[in-house]
Structure 1
Amino acid sequence: MMATNVNDQPAMVCHVVAMPYPGGSHIYALMNLCKEICSRVKFDILITFVVTEEWFGLIGSDSKPDNIQFDTIPNVVPSEHVRANQFVAFVEAVATKLEDPFEKLLNRLHGPPVTAIITDTLMAWPIHVGNRRNIPVASVWALPISMFSLYYHFDLLNRNGHYPIELSDPDNIIIDYIPGISPCRLADLSGRILHTNGKRALQLLVKAVSQVPKAKYLLTTSVYELEPLVFDALKPKFPFPIYPFGPISCIKPQFQLENTNISTTTTTTVPEYIQWLDSQPVGSVLYISFGTYLSVSDTQLDEIVAGVRSSGIRYMLVTRESASKIKDGCGNEGFVVPWCDQLRVLGHPSVGGFLTHCGWNSIMEAIFAGVLMLTIPIVGDQYHNSMRIVEEWKIGYKVNKDLIFEGNQQIQSLTGREEISELVKKFMDPENNDRKLMRERVEKLQKSCQLAVTKGGSSDSNLDAFIRGISQDVSHN
């Protein structure tokens, strides 16, 4: 079968195998990338999207282009309960138990020969499989590129005596030697994941990042304009370009740009939470969500809800386990749901702020929507993301206190309802001069992100360059 590529040159059919990390945000980011590739290519392409059997049960019926097909490998762990309570075991299983079933899947695939593999950077083994089979591999980093620089240059922490660290150290040590990263506290680099309690998971992460030079492409869900110093510092270190393509990974295909505003796709029914938002004044609602994987403690959630209620500020809260209990007492000022279309909510005119765990996709969506943030990081890169929101970009406030340790246990210190109430009132006050300055800053970042995905923008151009690369790989085979 012959067709044309983005340069209108003859090319054979391109068969891409996409292997995401088996976690929600990673799967959806890679699927959105695959959908975007399908919408842009001018040559014949087939994408086999590989998920565990458990995840296929969750997303197998989702809409997708006809040239994206699902295939499955066995579950790495038996249930979500195990993932939540044995995180290190889950990380190790992903790193060690999926390579063999993935290779067997490649052996039994029907259709055109596999011409490229797209995979998550957190897994090293797909790169090894691709190299053994002479298949080009594209590694996709789904966290801020600053965190990639940290793990790629992890040996610098060892050389400077900052790993492993003692319990009392992270708050007082300033790190100023990671390429592209502004000086910051060690504790803010990665939420104390550097502590030896997480040593095994950290070793696997650092090892995976170290294998990226053996791939042929590096893509990232970040935006060049958000992290230019890091991208500029990393570019000379690799024999191939780095392609930041965010926020395409989290804003398409659900949304498109109309000038500088977010517009939703047409739907036949309007969800109840959107109807509630429609009835609220512009900029009056605080949207609260802590992601789908980890969350704050039940005690901290109780304090947050009580604090927001006593502030008198309207709020919309997304929570699964406690939704019914919280909903009973939220009154007319609050709306509680177990799930929502987050970007649709953030783009709603009535939403004036976002209380977030600082997951990278959530941050990208908030900036794209031009929404200020209250940060309550929980783990990992979320602490560095929070620091950048509050201290670097200056588009939000931090809610919770720093992590503490009791013996060998990492403990999230409790922020009380009175403190939360006062902070929420200050944050949502339209007459707050600090808020007005933050609004100006977030609007500048919003414009940068929106321009990045428009025709000829940095992310748009990077994705086209990557597509040209994989099409040329096909023609060379």
Structure 2
Amino acid sequence: MEETHQKPHAIFVPYPLQGHVNPSVHLAIKLASKGFTVTFINTHSIHHQITAASAASDIFAAIRESGLDIRYATVSDGLPVEFDRSLNHDQFMAALLHVFSAHVEAAVEGIIQSGTTPEPSCLIADSFFVFPSKVAKKFGLKYVSYWTEPALVFTLYYHIGLLRLNGHFGCLEAREDAINYIPGVKSINPIDTTSYLQESDGSSVCHQIIFKAFEDVKGADFVLCNSVQELELETILALKTKMPFYSIGPVFPIGFTKSLVPTSLWSESDCTQWLDTKPPGSVLYVSFGSYAHVTHDNLVEIATGLLLSEVSFVWVLRADIVSSEDPDPLPSGFREELGDRSMIIPWCCQIQVLAHPSIGGFLTHCGWNSILESIWCEVPLLCFPLYTDQFTNRKLVVDDWKIGINLCDKKQITRVEVSRNVSHLMSKKTGDNCRNEIKGMKKRLENALRPDGSSEINLDQFIKDLKFSIQKKSGATLGGNKDRISNGT
């Protein structure tokens, strides 16, 4: 059967957190460059933050001038724009669980009824949403689930029923021995699973989202994953036996430079001039991402450990890193004692900093985007996971790939151990093992993105399969989707 000549039109809904919006914007641009029309839907809150930081009323205006057909819309997440989502995490998650779907459904219906051309043919939505398969089915769209974390985390959540059945999750006294029955995963210790899988109480709003989202994802027609086949081969091959699963990462801005599309939720400080004064590989970059919080005690130990290490560093210290109500949690006199040894800023363009030759290490919360960006820049990692997927990401970095070390080996952080491990990573002598390993990892990422690389082949195959599926369905009744993912557990 011939491929359809109609241009695919994807309605794209990213999860409203910085670490999900970034790879979603870059995937939208990549699909548009391959002939898609994309209607990208941000929440009012995310849109407000981005435009306040960048003064761009339509974030895709500049990229549209290059000829790409990306349209832009916003919807409410169910909360007032001025509501502090970081300080009220549970209320924010509850809105995404119970309210957000109605706003998305109304927006999708409005786009379809507007008579826009080409007619929307698929819904691309973050895998953590609980509603996409139902909305897609209602409007006769193909559902593409977009997973922005490693395949290992996806398969742990996907097999949550197996973990429960075997007593590793969902009981008061969960087993502590290794988990060795997940398809495509050799063995993993419970302490290396995500934070939500380590909790005995599975009744939180975040647990409800995970349970419902991974029921919903079984209704997806395709799953795209921001990982690389060669990095997680056995896990990805096992998932491909259960569903149409395509590893297409790393999803970066074109050329790994600052994107034409603003995505940052805060104004970015430029530390290039300061970095230019430092020797190659001498500066530690410190950032705990866009959302996770650090306790005040841990922050004081980390700050004091950095001071003791005598290493130069750039520290991205969000105003709400401890709490929105504690805007300056650093020890008294800390900034003055550092002098010109450090630069402490509220936010930055991370890929620009990591790509600077003076950066020699990255103290990170182990967010997946940060790990991929660090590999691309050949910057070894000092790992301090805080919550969700970050504990599993740490396992990949430290135990499997050997491209980083732990900030502290125990739950209790001490300034002495922080200082010792910072010095260990930044030293040319002791940190060279990680630096050598990360060069090989960078090569795998580069190879995956070549025209004949696994990620490019997988993305092209997805587009081909999607077009064929749309054409095949064009004569079917509304919502008559038969090619759905099986339960798989």
Q: Same fold (TM over 0.5)?
A: yes
Give 1:333 deviation, angstroms: 1.1
Q: For residues 314-340 of structure 1, give each alpha carbon's deviation from its aligned partner in whole angstroms, at most 9, with x where no partner exists.
A: 111001225796644431111111111
User: Match for 1:175 among 172, 179, 184?
Assistant: 179
User: Match for 2:250 among 218, 232, 247?
Assistant: 247
More strand by proportion, 1 or 2? 1
User: Match for 1:114 among 102, 113, 120?
Assistant: 120
**Aligned residue number for residue 104 of structure 1:** 106
SS of the aligned residue for 2:356 comes to: coil
1:145 and 2:151 equivalent? yes
Root-mean-square deviation (CA, aligned residues, Å) is 2.5
**Aligned residue number for residue 406 of structure 1:** none
1:419 and 2:417 equivalent? yes
Q: For residues 189-216 of structure 1, give each alpha carbon's deviation from its aligned partner in whole angstroms, at most 9, with x where no partner exists.
A: 1135431345332232132123223211
Code of the residue aligned with 2:400 in structure 1: it is E
CA contact 2:155–2:239 (8 Å) conserved in 1: yes
Q: Distance in 2 between matches of 1:396 and 1:106?
A: 43
Structure 2 matches for 1:71-470, cutoff 5 A? Answer: 71-78=73-80, 82-109=84-111, 110=114, 111-112=116-117, 113-166=119-172, 172-191=176-195, 193-200=197-204, 201-238=206-243, 240=244, 242-248=245-251, 251-253=252-254, 255=256, 272-321=270-319, 327-402=335-410, 413-432=411-430, 435-470=431-466
Code of the residue aligned with 1:33 in structure 2: it is L
CA contact 1:319–1:336 (8 Å) conserved in 2: yes
Name the count of aligned residue pairs: 440
Q: For residues 355-407 of structure 1, give each alpha carbon's deviation from its aligned partner in whole angstroms, at most 9, with x where no partner exists.
A: 000011111111111111110000111111112211111111111355xxxxx
CA contact 2:408–2:417 (8 Å) conserved in 1: no
Stretch moving more, 371-380 or 124-133: 124-133
Q: Distance in 1 between matches of 2:178 and 2:470?
A: 47
Code of the residue aligned with 1:226 in structure 2: it is L
TM-score, reference length from structure 2: 0.84
**Aligned residue number for residue 40 of structure 1:** 34
Q: Distance in 2 between matches of 1:234 and 1:328?
A: 52
Give 1:13 deviation, angstroms: 3.6
**Aligned residue number for residue 405 of structure 1:** none
Aligned CA distance change for structure 1 residues 371 and 392 (closer, same or farther; 3 Å): same
Give 1:448 deviation, angstroms: 0.2
CA contact 2:4–2:467 (8 Å) conserved in 1: no
TM-score, reference length from structure 1: 0.86
What's the % identity of the aligned pairs? 31
Give 1:15 deviation, angstroms: 2.1
Aligned CA distance change for structure 1 residues 463 and 197 (closer, same or farther; 3 Å): same
1:28 and 2:28 equivalent? no
Q: Distance in 2 between matches of 1:424 and 1:81?
A: 37
Q: Distance in 1 between matches of 2:404 and 2:202?
A: 29
SS of the aligned residue for 1:331 comes to: helix
Give 1:81 deviation, angstroms: 6.0
Structure 1 residues not aligned, in runs of 5+ = 1-6, 257-263, 403-412
Structure 2 residues not aligned, in runs of 5+ = 261-267, 320-326, 475-489
Give 1:472 deviation, angstroms: 3.8
